Amino acid sequence: MVSNSPTISILTPTQPHPQRRRDGCSECRRKKVKCDLRKPVCSRCARYPRGCVYSLRVSLVDPKPRPARTPELAILANQPALSLSPFLSSAESKFFMHVLATQTAPVFFPAAPKLFLDRLISAALGTPHLLYALLASACSHHGRLIGDSTGTSWTACLKFTNRAISGLSSALNEPTQMLRAETAMTAMTLCTNDVCNGNMHVWQMHLAGVMRLLTAFLKQPSSMADSFTLCLVKWFTTLDVLAGLSSSTSITHGLLDRFLESCPSVVDDICGYSLELVPVLTRIGQLARQVDTLPQQVMYEAQMLDLTIRSLVDRAVPSNTLNTHGPELAHELQHTHLAFVHCALLHLHRRVQGFPRDHPDVRADIHNIITAIQHIRPFSQANILILWPVFSAGCETTVSEERHLLHTRMANMRSMGMGNFTRARDMLEVFWAAESPLPWDVYFTQQGLELVLF
């Protein structure tokens, strides 16, 4: 493990590169073995992820690039302190900044383009409320990784969260600050933290706030030309669509609609599925809530949606994802997409059309989801993207072997500090114990329980 007070040094472009690679994780460097650099946990450390720690390398990205080359920053342990940002004023904040960039961000966005993560962290270095929101996510994630649910990490999480909320409130009172992408990012980070920490009583408020901020931000002509803006919209859409599918809450926003025509028919690196599925998934969530009032109309539309979903099966991974993340993760992203496609069919058949669990179409949907999951390595970060398909198939299958596989996958992701997997796994066990014939969303609604499978 790294020291609790990592410090910072600047590497200039003129410094000679070392002859031997030193960017492996701490354990591989200690054992002097080759590291495959897989993040957040390399292959050698997959069984014991707590010791797998990387040195932080963050490229500062200016939203308005300048001709001069921006220096690269490295946060390393046991070196003379040098401030990255005036808001990183303590050893504690520097340590959690390290955790954020090397562990938390790769877990939250396992296949995201480097541009997105660089811009996210770079923006935080100059925006205190965003920085504090991201540090809060790093605190809670680190606490789950080391089993510190009530100690130092939790105390730091509360402190940074309070600072983020206070700063966000101030920004919302300033028109120029309210229309910045960083302000929407802060609200979105808080919302994501709520989901991962199980704070269901406040996440809906943050989600609605994000929608209002993004709507106002997108009205600015300059925002539409920025690829980073699209990443923000996809981040929000992922939260909102899964909220509509896994709870009684849904915001019909349409923020992504203006981008869909220009988006290629490929697997998206933020969502883990083709964006063509977004309107379909949104509509399934809506129809599930209308089936009792408009049964004939709903059933006809369900048949049309079935055909649409099946037409989206074959989607490739873009070449930039292959180049950035390598062939293994790129291959697995094709199967995260398939897991979502067949899970869409499963929800359509079970929740909208009301088929029983032993119906041939439902059994085929579950089989296809599990087949897709089996093409993803047990500890691959790609599993992080498919909580909704994993949980849905787990609730609908009664086959013990299938339940065991899905339960184990959720445990693997829980070991990576994913609090949303922890909560979903606990609720899956509750649902199995109840032996309810109801679709899981109906059962949990009747029990007054809420779950967002992000």
Considering the domain architecture, whether residues 110 and 217 belong to the same structural domain is answered as yes
Q: What are phi and psi of 76, to 5 degrees?
A: -130, 155
In a domain? residue 276: yes
Number of structural domains the chain divides into: 2
Q: Determine the pLDDT at residue 356.
A: 94
In a domain? residue 80: no
Q: Determine the pLDDT at residue 171.
A: 92
Q: Which strand (E) or helix (H) includes residue 260?
A: helix 257-260
Q: What's 101's DSSP letter?
A: I
Q: Which residue do the tokens 């949104």 mark?
A: 282
Q: Which residue do the tokens 């609908």 mark?
A: 396
Q: Determine the pLDDT at residue 22.
A: 56
Beta strands in 49-191 (DSSP E): 56-59, 72-76
Q: Determine the pLDDT at residue 49.
A: 67
DSSP SS3 for 280: helix
In a domain? residue 343: yes
In a domain? residue 56: no
List the one residue out of 386, 293, 410, 284 whose CA is nearest residue 335.
386
Considering the domain architecture, whether residues 303 and 444 belong to the same structural domain is answered as yes
Q: Which residue do the tokens 């981040």 mark?
A: 235
Can you name the residues that pair with 7 across neighbouring β-strands?
Answer: 76
Q: Which residue do the tokens 């409320």 mark?
A: 129
Considering the domain architecture, whether residues 375 and 448 belong to the same structural domain is answered as yes
Domain boundary among 172, 198, 224: 224
In a domain? residue 54: no
Considering the domain architecture, whether residues 425 and 325 belong to the same structural domain is answered as yes
In a domain? residue 231: no
Bond before 65 cis per omega within 30 degrees: no
Here the contacts of 317-322 (C-beta below 8 Å, separation 24 or greater) are: 317/266, 317/267, 318/264, 318/266, 318/267, 318/269, 320/113, 321/111, 321/113, 321/267, 321/269
CA distance 130 to 114: 19
Q: Which residue do the tokens 């399934």 mark?
A: 284
Considering the domain architecture, whether residues 308 and 219 belong to the same structural domain is answered as no
Considering the domain architecture, whether residues 408 and 269 belong to the same structural domain is answered as yes
Q: What are phi and psi of 354, to 5 degrees?
A: 75, 25
**Residue 122 belongs to what domain range?**
87-224
Considering the domain architecture, whether residues 215 and 292 belong to the same structural domain is answered as no
Considering the domain architecture, whether residues 283 and 424 belong to the same structural domain is answered as yes
Output the DSSP codes for 174-237. Answer: SHHHHTSHHHHHHHHHHHHHHHHHT-HHHHHHHHHHHHHHHHHHHTSGGGGG-HHHHHHHHHHH
List the one residue out of 134, 99, 125 whose CA is nearest residue 26.
99
Q: Is residue 347 within 8 Å of residue 288, measured between CB atoms?
A: yes
pTM for the full predicted model? 0.81
List the one residue out of 381, 419, 373, 422 whose CA is nearest residue 397.
373
In a domain? residue 23: no
Q: pLDDT digit of tens for each residue in the chain (454 aa)?
A: 333 333 333 233 344 444 444 567 778 887 888 888 776 677 788 766 666 776 655 444 444 433 333 333 333 333 333 356 788 888 899 899 989 988 898 888 889 888 888 888 888 988 999 999 999 999 999 998 888 767 888 899 999 999 999 999 999 998 888 888 889 899 989 988 888 877 777 777 778 888 888 888 888 876 655 677 888 888 888 888 888 777 655 555 677 877 777 777 899 999 999 999 999 998 898 888 887 777 788 889 999 999 999 999 999 998 888 888 889 999 999 999 999 999 999 999 998 999 999 999 999 999 999 999 999 999 999 999 999 999 999 999 999 999 999 999 999 999 998 888 998 999 999 999 999 988 898 898 888 887 878 8
Q: Is 112 exposed, middle or buried (0-12, 13-18, 19+ CB in 10 A)?
A: buried
In a domain? residue 195: yes
Considering the domain architecture, whether residues 294 and 167 belong to the same structural domain is answered as no
Q: Determine the pLDDT at residue 2.
A: 34
List the one residue out of 275, 267, 2, 231 whose CA is nearest residue 117.
231
Considering the domain architecture, whether residues 93 and 195 belong to the same structural domain is answered as yes
List the one residue out of 60, 89, 95, 92 whose CA is nearest residue 75.
95
Considering the domain architecture, whether residues 160 and 287 belong to the same structural domain is answered as no
List the one residue out of 415, 281, 438 whose CA is nearest residue 348.
281
Considering the domain architecture, whether residues 424 and 280 belong to the same structural domain is answered as yes
Domain boundary among 167, 202, 224: 224
Structure tokens at 168: 């966000």
